[in-house]
Copies of this chain bind each other. A is one copy, B any other.
Amino acid sequence: MNKTIETILNHRSVREFEQRSLTKEQIDILVSSAQAASTSSYVQAYSIIGVTDDEKKAELAKLAINSNTVINSGHFFVFCGDLHRHEIIGEMEEKEVTTAIESTEMFMVALIDAALAAQNTAIAAESMGLGICYIGGIRNDLEKVSQLLETPSHCIPLFGLAIGYPSVINDRKPRLPKEHIYHENRYESDKTIYKKQLEEYNATTTEYYHERTNGERQDSWTEQIGKALENPKRMYMQDFVKAQGLNKK
Tell whether, in the assembled complex, residue B35 and residue A176 are in contact, meaning their CB atoms are under 8 Å apart: yes
Interface positions, chain A 119-166, Cβ under 8 Å from B, are 119-120, 122-124, 127-128, 132-134, 136, 139, 148-152, 155, 158-159
Known contacts being A50-B184, A88-B194, A119-B119, is A99 close to B247, with CB within 8 Å?
no
A150 to B186, CA, bound (A): 5
The residues of B that contact A48 with a CB separation of less than 8 Å are 181-183
A111 to B13, CA, bound (A): 20
A213 within 8 A of B: no
Tell whether, in the assembled complex, residue A46 and residue B181 are in contact, meaning their CB atoms are under 8 Å apart: yes
A183 to B49, CA, bound (A): 5
Interface string of A12-53 (1 = CB under 8 A from B): 010000000000000011011111111011111011111111
Tell me the dominant secondary structure on chain A's binding face.
helix
Q: What residue in chain B is nearest A99 (Cβ atoms)?
A: B232
A49 to B238, CA, bound (A): 29
Tell whether, in the assembled complex, residue A185 and residue B47 are in contact, meaning their CB atoms are under 8 Å apart: no
Of the residues B28, B114, B159, B184, contact of A49 by C-beta under 8 Å:
B184
A98 to B197, CA, bound (A): 22
